[in-house]
Amino acid sequence: MGHVTATILDGKATRDEIFEDLKVRVSALKDKGITPGLGTVLVGDDPGSAAYVRGKHNDCAKVGITSIRRDLPADITQEKLDATIDELNANPDCTGYIVQLPVPKQLDENAALERIDPDKDADGLHPVNLGRLVLGKEAPLPCTPRGILHLLRRYEVPIEGAHVVVVGRGVTVGRPIGLLFTRRSENATVTLCHTRTRDLGAEVRRADIVIAAAGVPGLVTADMVKPGAAVLDVGVSRTEDGLRGDVAADVAEVAGFLSPNPGGVGPLTRAFLLTNVVERAERVAASLG
């Protein structure tokens, strides 16, 4: 590899800062008699999903949030999944929870997301909360987009007026991130690209900020990147050579800022999941007076 010019956006160091803040807030909540609890629903035994869920509960232990795990067999029916969601909706120890995605094919993912109590939606992916985001109303924000914005701000990457090119149209990143970047608090201009975009290179070359979240290994190459641009590698694929991001290694020789994968946005996805849980607990505390 040639000369790395990019400033690396360090997701782990930034995550640790967020955890320090959360620890203080969780402790203040406990002083008021409220212990935040994060629930996870994991269906099946996909090793990647299992690792992510494990990571979320390890994070909970670090900041003092109670863990509530519901692990279900891969061949579960929709009725059984619904019953688990109903139980967590009613469970007073559960401040917020997530259904780990993707779920096995026989299950309806959108029906599961829709069944979650929007107030307990720690992922910010319930249709009501995505709708609130469109309307500019307060809502739990999707964790990866929130992590992306936080990382850019932390490293003082200019966002106001920037041209952001997003590659990928998935529900956890690609679709919601444009809504955040175009708020009046960000004022960026967003182009949303996907696998059917006619000339991806031409679109990406115009970007001040590139969000690569397509799940295609090495999709964004150095020749597609404007010198000095910020490139955030969010996509991840499990290949024979291990985990690979969407951004080719030589992009580090052209970009001004680079968020690697692993070690970039991923840790912040988890940090903002916990932040959403703590924020909900703080709202509950405030409502109790």
Question: Residue ranges for the binding site?
Answer: 168-170, 236
Write out the binding residues for ligand LMY7XDAE, residues 159-188 only, by CB under 6 A.
172
Residue 209's SS3 state is strand
Write out the binding residues for ligand LMY7XDAE, residues 227-246 only, by CB under 6 A.
243
> What ranges make up the beta strands (E) of 15-110?
37-43, 66-72, 96-99
197/218 Cα distance (integer angstroms) = 17
Phi (first) and psi of residue 123, to 5 degrees: -85, -15
Write out the binding residues for ligand LMY7XDAE, residues 118-147 only, by CB under 6 A.
123, 143-144
Active site residue 78: no
The residue from 7, 263, 284, 285 that contacts ligand LMY7XDAE (CB under 6 A) is 263
Residue 239's SS3 state is strand
- Residue recorded with tokens 């909900």: 280
How do strand 189-193 and strand 7-8 relate by DSSP bridges?
unpaired
Write out the binding residues for Mg ion, residues 96-125 only, by CB under 5 A.
109
Which residue numbers belong to the known binding site for NADP(+)?
A: 168-170, 236
Residue 211's SS3 state is strand
Q: In the bound complex, which residue of the shown chain has the CB atom lying closest to Mg ion?
A: 109
CB 276, CB 19: distance < 8 Å: no
Other Cβ atoms within 10 Å of 50 Cβ, number? 14
DSSP assignment letter at 272? H
The one catalytic residue in 59, 121, 123, 208 is: 123
CB 151, CB 259: distance < 8 Å: yes
Report the nearest approach of Mg ion to the CB of residue 288 (Å).
Answer: 39
The residue from 269, 274, 277, 281 that contacts ligand LMY7XDAE (CB under 6 A) is 269
Site string for ligand LMY7XDAE, 76-115 (x = CB under 6 A): ----------------------xxxx--------------
Stretch (H or E) spanning 105: none
The residue from 24, 51, 74, 134 that contacts ligand LMY7XDAE (CB under 6 A) is 51
Stretch that binds ligand LMY7XDAE, among 68-76, 203-211, 258-266, 274-282 (CB under 6 A): 258-266
Nearer to Mg ion, 87 or 109 (CB): 109
Indicate which residues carry an active-site annotation: 56, 100, 123
> Interface residues with Mg ion (CB under 5 A)?
109
